[in-house]
Amino acid sequence: MAAEKPDVLLVGHKKPVIVGGLEGNVTLHKLIDAADKDAFLKPIADKVRAIAVSYTSERIGPEFMQRFPKLEQISSFGVGYDHIDAKWAGAHGIVVTNTPDVLNEEVADTALGLLLCTVREFPQADRYLRAGKWLEKGYPLTKATLRDRTVGMVGMGRIGRAIARRLEAFGVPVVYHSRKPQDGVSYKYYPKLVDMARDVDTLMVIVPGGASTQNMINAEVLKALGPRGILINMARGSVVDEPALIQALKDRTIYSAGLDVFAKEPQVPKELIEMDHVVLFPHLGSASEATRAAMDRLVVDNILAWAAGKAPLTPVPETPPKR
Ligand code: NAP
Ligand code: 8YV
Instruction: Dump pLDDT digits (tens) for 103-130.
Output: 999 999 999 999 999 999 999 999 999 9
Does residue 252 sit within a domain? yes
**Closest listed residue to residue 313, CA positions, set 96, 82, 25:** 96
Looking at the fold, whether 87 and 110 belong to one and the same domain comes out as no
Given a contact cutoff of 8 angstroms between Cβ atoms, the answer to whether 58 and 64 are in contact is: no
CATH number of the CATH domain containing 214: 3.40.50.720
In a domain, 236, yes or no: yes
Using a 10 angstrom Cβ sphere, with 0-12 exposed, 13-18 middle and 19 or more buried, the burial of residue 87 is middle
CA quadruple 105, 111, 115, 121: dihedral, nearest 10: 100
Indicate which ligand has the atom closest to the C-alpha of 266. 2
- Work out the number of other CB atoms within 10 angstroms of the CB of residue 119: 22
Burial class (CB in 10 A: 0-12, 13-18, 19+), 17: middle
Strand order across the beta sheet in which 27-30 lies: 27-30, 7-11, 48-53, 73-76, 95-97
Q: Ligand 1: distance of its center to the CA of 81 in Å?
A: 10
| Mean pLDDT for the stretch of residues 151-156 | 98
* pLDDT at residue 1, as a whole number: 47
**42-92 pLDDT tens trace:** 999 999 999 999 998 889 999 999 999 999 999 999 999 999 999 999 999
First to last CA, the chain: 25
Q: Residue 319 domain-assigned?
A: no
How many domains does the structure of the chain reveal? 2
Find the catalytic residue in 265, 271, 297, 318: 265
For the stretch 266-303, pLDDT in tens is 999 999 999 999 999 999 999 999 999 999 999 999 99
* Residue 249 belongs to some domain of the structure: yes
Question: Does residue 61 sit in the same domain as residue 162?
Answer: no
For residue 64, the enclosing domain spans 7-101+290-307
Q: Is it the case that residue 28 has pLDDT exceeding 50? A: yes
Does residue 188 carry a pLDDT above 80? yes
Residues 92 and 209 reside in one and the same domain: no
Answer yes or no: is 320 within a domain.
Answer: no
283 is catalytic: yes
Cβ atoms 41, 67 nearer than 8 A: yes
Q: Considering the chain, what is the average pLDDT of its residues?
A: 97
From 161, 177, 283, 292, the catalytic residue: 283
| Residue 183 is assigned to a structural domain of this protein | yes
Pocket test for ligand 1, best of 55, 56, 79 (most atoms within 8 A of CB): 79
Instruction: Give the span between the Cα atoms of 184 and 178, in whole angstroms.
Output: 14
Are 301 and 194 in a shared domain?
Answer: no
Residues 85 and 169 in one domain: no
pLDDT of residue 237: 98
Residues 79 and 152 in one domain: no
Do both 83 and 195 map to the same domain?
no
Asked if residue 323 is part of any domain, the answer here is no
37-56 per-position pLDDT tens digit? 999 999 999 999 999 999 98
pLDDT of residue 322: 64
Do 167 and 230 lie in a common domain?
Answer: yes
Contact 168, 115 (CB under 8 A): no
Number of Cβ within a 10 Å radius of residue 81: 26
Q: Do 53 and 85 sit in the same domain of this protein? A: yes
Rounded to whole angstroms, the Cα distance separating 151 from 211 reads 25
Sign of CA dihedral 209, 211, 217, 221: negative
**Would you say residue 35 has pLDDT above 60?**
yes
> Both 64 and 199 in a single domain?
no
Provide the pLDDT confidence category of residue 2 given band limits of 50, 70 and 90. Answer: low
Do 96 and 112 sit in the same domain of this protein?
A: no
Asked, for residue 189, whether it belongs to a domain, the answer is yes
Write the CB contacts of 269 (distance below 8 Å, at least 6 apart in sequence). Answer: 242, 246, 262
DSSP label at residue 181: P
Name the residue of 13, 82, 283, 297 whose CB sits within 8 Å of the most ligand 2 atoms, as the mutation to test its pocket: 283
Residues in the chain: 323
- Tell me: do 191 and 55 sit in the same domain: no
Nearest-5° Cα angle at 159, 158 to 165? 100
236: annotated active-site residue: yes
For 214-254, write each residue's pLDDT tens digit. 999 999 999 999 999 999 999 999 999 999 999 999 999 99
